[in-house]
């Protein structure tokens, strides 16, 4: 099955800093340069948000280029408000200021959060600001529906370990599951769970129980699939190909059926998206509904899996669970000009815009030219991972920082019959979904 690398850090035009076409790229064989030391999940180098959630230390200038990640916290996230949500252009790494960070157009409707995907957009993605190093996570949710529309609920680490649920909008009785170690594709890792009822019309509880020894996927309290670490030994590489590093919870809706995607991705997603569907006409967007997300951290007295300190970081490029340090290192930047090795750089403003005398710098992923797969839920071919790649059509005006790209300035939309759900179009400030290019062809999760 073809899927897309569901990761945060997607598709921002950004806060108008650095609009160069030659943003440095990064990989395991090509690390970021010193002046732009942090490798984002989309394999581009920069500072600021590049160094926070999704920063891959293996591909960065040095292991300490990435800012340490906030440790796991037991929490019930009531998805009835956006008060604890920040766009990545506004977040500096302090989990006390936000529970969720992301981009797109999340909306509150009837005490739930809708992740929306208006016409020709690339959807919405949210990630927790703290990381889970084993434990339990449960999402009470309704999926989206429609050909080419994909909903996802996953765990994803900065070194691309992953455990996921994915739902394609043409099959409302199936939860697709998968896992990956450091983004290495293995197309035998997937498995389906049949859901009783309808995933769009009815709330269901989807749960991941993750320990150092096994992963369980549960639907409505019943185990639908189990994968043991002992079954993942890779004798060639002499390692366990098993997810094992601190991960954020990520939820998203994205266009698997974008015409920009590879045929295999489109076919897996149920075909091309109809941007003139009844869903779009009636509501103004495709959407997935989230009611509650619960995180329960793994309880252990010694690593791996502890959450006794303030932050996690890696002390070796192998990036396995024995290289994770549960520490008291700081997790916050003073501005989006900072990095893991210079966390106080900048004037303390959220935007981190340089002064007129400062050199341009990439501080928000997607700022500048649009790189491969800059979409919520999209992967990057440079990771060597992935089971398909998601994409979106570049249909937004670069001067408009809202996601209702094809609607008139009043935001009324075409045949908008659901103003109650839609509410007032929420301006996204510096993080535009303008000028987003989705890419094609990679396989993963």
SS (H, E, C) 364-419: CCCCCCCCCCCCCCCCCHHHCCCECCCCCCCCCCCCCCCCCCCCCCCCCCCCCCCH
Between CA 58 and CA 64, with CA 59 as vertex, the angle to 5 degrees is 60
pLDDT of residue 235: 92
Q: Diameter of the chain by CA atoms? A: 61
Q: How far apart are CA 195 and CA 20, in angstroms?
A: 47
pLDDT of residue 346: 87
What residue ranges do the domains of the chain occupy?
Answer: 1-23+70-335+370-445
What token pair was written down for 206? 């989807």
Q: With 50 as the cut, is the pLDDT of residue 9 above it?
A: no
Distances (CA, A) of 358 to 18, 78, 361, 377: 11, 42, 9, 33
> Does residue 63 contact residue 88 with C-beta atoms inside 8 Å?
no
Q: What is the dihedral of CA 415, 418, 420, 426, to 10 degrees?
A: -70
What token pair was written down for 324? 């994770």
Between CA 231 and CA 412, with CA 252 as vertex, the angle to 5 degrees is 165
Provide the β-strand partners of residue 166.
152, 176
Confidence of residue 351 (pLDDT cuts 50, 70, 90): low
Mean pLDDT of the 352-366 span? 52
pLDDT of residue 197: 94
pLDDT of residue 187: 78
- Its CATH architecture, for the domain 1-23+70-335+370-445, is Sandwich (2.60)
Among 18-22, 341-345, 353-357, 380-384, the least confident range: 380-384
Contacts of 145 (CB under 8 A, 6+ apart): 169, 170, 172, 200, 279, 286
pLDDT of residue 198: 96
Q: Which residues of 297-327 are buried (b: 16+ CB within 10 A; e: fewer)?
A: bbeeeeebbbbeeebbbbeeeebbbebbebe
Mean pLDDT of the 111-140 span? 96
114 φ/ψ angles, rounded to the nearest 5 degrees: -100, 130
Q: What is the pLDDT of residues 238-280, one digit of tens each?
A: 999 999 999 999 999 999 999 999 999 999 999 999 999 999 9
211 exposure class (CB count in 10 Å sphere: 0-12, 13-18, 19+): middle
Q: What is the pLDDT of residues 162-200, one digit of tens each?
A: 999 999 999 999 999 999 999 998 878 999 999 999 999
pLDDT of residue 348: 59
pTM of the full structure? 0.80
Q: What is the mean pLDDT of the chain?
A: 80
Q: Which residues are catalytic?
A: 162, 166
């Amino acid at each position: 099955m073809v899927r897309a690398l569901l990761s945060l850090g997607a598709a921002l035009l950004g806060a108008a800093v650095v609009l160069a076409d030659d943003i440095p790229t990064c990989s395991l064989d090509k690390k970021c340069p010193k002046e732009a030391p942090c490798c984002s999940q989309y394999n581009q180098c920069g500072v600021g948000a590049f160094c926070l959630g999704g920063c891959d230390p293996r591909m960065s200038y040095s292991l300490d280029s990435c800012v340490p990640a906030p440790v796991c916290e037991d929490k019930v996230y009531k998805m009835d408000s956006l008060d604890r949500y920040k766009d990545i252009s506004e977040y500096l790494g302090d989990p006390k200021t936000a529970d969720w960070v992301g981009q797109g157009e999340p909306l509150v409707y009837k005490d739930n959060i809708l992740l929306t995907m208006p016409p020709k957009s690339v959807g919405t993605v949210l990630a927790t600001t703290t990381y889970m190093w084993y434990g339990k996570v449960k999402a009470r949710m309704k999926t989206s529906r429609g050909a080419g529309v994909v909903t996802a609920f996953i765990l994803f680490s900065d070194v691309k370990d992953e455990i996921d649920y994915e739902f394609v909008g043409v099959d409302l009785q199936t939860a697709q599951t998968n896992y990956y170690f450091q983004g290495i594709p293995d197309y035998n890792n997937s498995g389906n769970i049949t859901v009783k009822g309808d995933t769009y019309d009815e709330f269901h509880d989807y749960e991941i129980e993750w320990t150092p020894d096994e992963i369980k996927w549960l639907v409505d309290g019943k185990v639908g699939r189990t994968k043991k670490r002992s079954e993942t030994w890779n004798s060639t590489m002499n390692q366990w190909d098993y997810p094992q590093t601190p991960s954020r919870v990520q939820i998203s809706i994205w266009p698997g059926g974008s015409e920009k995607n590879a045929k295999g991705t489109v076919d897996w997603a149920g075909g091309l998206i109809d941007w003139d569907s009844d869903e779009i006409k009636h509501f103004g967007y495709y959407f997935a509904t989230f009611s509650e997300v619960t995180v329960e951290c793994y309880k252990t007295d010694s690593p791996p899996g502890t959450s006794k300190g303030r932050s996690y970081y890696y002390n070796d490029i192998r990036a396995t669970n024995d290289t994770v340090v549960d520490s008291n290192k700081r997790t916050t930047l003073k501005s989006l000009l900072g990095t893991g090795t210079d966390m106080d750089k900048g004037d303390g403003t959220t935007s981190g815009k340089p002064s007129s005398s400062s050199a341009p710098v990439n501080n928000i992923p997607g700022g500048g030219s649009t790189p491969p797969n800059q979409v919520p839920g999209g992967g990057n071919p440079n990771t060597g991972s992935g089971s398909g790649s998601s994409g979106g059509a570049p249909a937004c005006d670069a001067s408009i920082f809202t996601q209702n790209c094809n609607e008139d300035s009043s935001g009324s939309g075409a045949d908008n019959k659901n103003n109650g759900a839609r509410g007032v179009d929420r301006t996204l400030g510096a993080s535009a979904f303008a000028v987003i290019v989705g890419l094609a062809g990679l396989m993963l999760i």
